[in-house]
C-alpha cells in the first residue's frame, strides 16, 4: 500500500493489531470483488468484520472472501443472530466445525431474539471460547431489553467473566434501538453506567450513524471502539477520529 502524506499534525492512532480504537465493520454480503476493493483501500483501518445476520450461511463466496480478509489481516466474525438460531436448533457442534473449516476466527453471541436463557447464553460463550474469539452482545432487537442501565452492566459483566473478549452494545443497523432513542440520539445514561463498571477497551459501541460516531468520539476520544460501520463509512469514520471533518476538527491558530 502506498504511504499517504504526513505533513499534518493529527491525533496519535494505534496501528494494527489495535487493542482500542477498533473499527468493527458490518458486511451485509459484499461481492468478492467489492471485498477486495474495500481491502485495497481501507484494510489498515478495519479491525474486525462481522458478516451480518445469517448471510454467511447463504453466501457461497464466503470462504473466498474470508481468505481475502485474512490475507489483509482482518479477522471475520459471524453475526449473533446466526449463533442464536444455531443454539435454538441445537446445532452448535456442526456450526463450530463449519466455521473452523472456512477460516472463521471470531463469533458473536447475542440474545437479541430473546430466545435464550441467561444460563444458555453464558454456556454458549464458554463453549465457543474454546475455538473462537467471542464477542458477546447485550441488547435486544426490539430495544426492550435490558430494561435498565444496571441490567446492561450486569449482563456485560457476566459475559466477560464467561470468557468474551469484547462486549458489544446493541444499536442495530438502524441506530434507533438499544443504545439509542427512536430519534437515534444516544441513551447517555446507559453509556455512563456501562463505563462506570466495564473497561472502555472491552466495549464495542454499535454506532452506524455519523452523529452517533461523532458523539462517541467527542465524548470518549478517538480511540473508542465503534461497530456496525458500513463499508462506505470506514474512511469517513477515520476522518472523524483524526479531526479531518468539521464535526470533530479543532483547528489551531493560524500563523
Distance of CA 178 to the CA centre of its chain: 14
Q: Are 175 and 215 in contact (CB under 8 A)?
A: no
Range of the domain at 152: 23-241
Does residue 15 sit within a domain? no
Please determine, for residue 2, whether its predicted confidence score (pLDDT) is greater than 70. Answer: no
Q: Are 202 and 160 in contact (CB under 8 A)?
A: yes
* Helix ranges, the chain (H): 32-42, 55-58, 62-71, 80-88, 92-101, 118-128, 149-162, 188-197, 210-220, 234-241
Cβ of 190: how many Cβ atoms within 10 Å? 22
Does residue 246 sit within a domain? no
State the cell numbers at 192.
455512563
Between 73 and 250, residue with greater pLDDT: 73
Q: How confident is the model at residue 158 (pLDDT cuts 50, 70, 90)?
A: very high
Does residue 254 sit within a domain? no
Does residue 252 sit within a domain? no
Average pLDDT of the residues of the chain: 94
Does residue 7 sit within a domain? no
pLDDT digits (tens, 9 = 90+) for 26-57: 999 999 999 999 999 999 999 999 999 999 99
- How many domains are there within the chain? 1
Does residue 18 sit within a domain? no
Distance of CA 144 to the CA centre of its chain: 21
Distance of CA 18 to the CA centre of its chain: 13
Please determine, for residue 185, whether its predicted confidence score (pLDDT) is greater than 50. Answer: yes
Does residue 205 sit within a domain? yes
How confident is the model at residue 255, as a pLDDT? 46
Query: Smallest Cα–Cα separation from 228: which of 160, 135, 149, 165?
Result: 135
Q: Give me the mean pLDDT over the 162-189 stretch.
A: 92
Please determine, for residue 1, whether its predicted confidence score (pLDDT) is greater than 80. Answer: no
Give dist(CA 201, CA 85) in Å, integer: 29
Instruction: Look at the pTM and tell me if it is higher than 0.85.
Output: yes
Q: Give me the mean pLDDT over the 65-80 stretch.
A: 98
Cβ of 135: how many Cβ atoms within 10 Å? 26
248: number of CA atoms within 13 Å, CB side? Answer: 25
Does residue 143 sit within a domain? yes
- Residues sharing a CB contact under 8 Å with residue 13, sequence separation 6 or more, in sequence order: 21, 222, 223, 241, 242
186: DSSP letter: B
How confident is the model at residue 140, as a pLDDT? 75
- The vertex-168 CA angle with 218 and 223, nearest 5°, equals 30
Q: Are strands 166-169 and 76-78 parallel, antiparallel or unpaired?
A: unpaired
Q: CATH number of the domain at 132, please.
A: 3.20.20.70
DSSP secondary structure letters along 64-81: HHHHHHHHTT--EEE-HH
pLDDT digits (tens, 9 = 90+) for 140-157: 777 677 889 999 999 999
How confident is the model at residue 252, as a pLDDT? 60
Between 143 and 201, residue with greater pLDDT: 201
Amino acid at each position: 500500500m502506498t504511504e499517504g502524506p504526513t505533513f499534518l499534525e493529527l491525533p496519535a492512532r494505534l496501528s494494527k493489531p489495535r487493542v482500542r480504537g477498533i473499527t468493527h465493520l458490518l458486511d451485509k454480503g459484499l461481492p468478492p470483488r467489492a471485498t477486495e476493493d474495500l481491502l485495497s483501500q481501507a484494510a489498515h483501518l478495519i479491525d474486525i468484520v462481522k458478516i451480518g445476520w445469517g448471510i454467511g450461511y447463504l453466501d457461497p463466496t464466503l470462504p473466498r472472501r474470508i481468505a481475502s480478509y485474512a490475507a489483509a489481516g482482518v479477522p471475520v466474525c459471524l453475526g449473533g443472530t446466526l449463533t442464536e438460531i444455531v443454539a435454538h436448533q441445537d446445532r452448535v457442534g456442526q456450526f463450530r466445525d463449519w466455521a473452523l473449516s472456512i477460516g472463521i476466527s471470531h463469533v458473536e453471541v447475542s440474545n437479541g431474539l430473546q430466545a435464550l436463557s441467561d444460563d444458555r447464553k453464558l454456556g454458549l460463550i464458554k463453549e465457543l471460547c474454546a475455538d473462537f474469539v467471542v464477542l458477546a452482545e447485550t441488547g435486544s432487537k426490539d430495544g426492550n431489553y435490558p430494561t435498565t442501565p444496571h441490567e446492561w452492566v450486569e449482563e456485560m459483566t457476566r459475559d466477560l467473566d464467561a470468557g468474551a473478549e469484547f462486549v458489544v452494545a446493541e444499536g442495530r443497523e438502524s441506530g434507533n434501538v438499544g443504545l439509542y432513542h427512536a430519534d437515534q440520539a444516544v441513551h447517555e445514561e446507559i453509556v455512563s453506567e456501562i463505563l462506570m463498571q466495564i473497561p472502555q477497551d472491552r466495549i464495542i459501541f454499535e454506532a452506524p450513524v455519523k452523529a452517533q460516531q461523532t458523539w462517541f468520539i467527542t465524548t470518549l476520544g478517538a480511540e473508542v471502539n465503534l461497530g456496525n460501520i458500513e463499508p462506505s463509512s470506514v474512511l469517513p469514520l477515520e476522518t472523524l477520529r483524526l479531526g479531518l471533518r468539521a464535526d470533530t476538527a479543532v483547528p489551531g491558530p493560524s500563523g
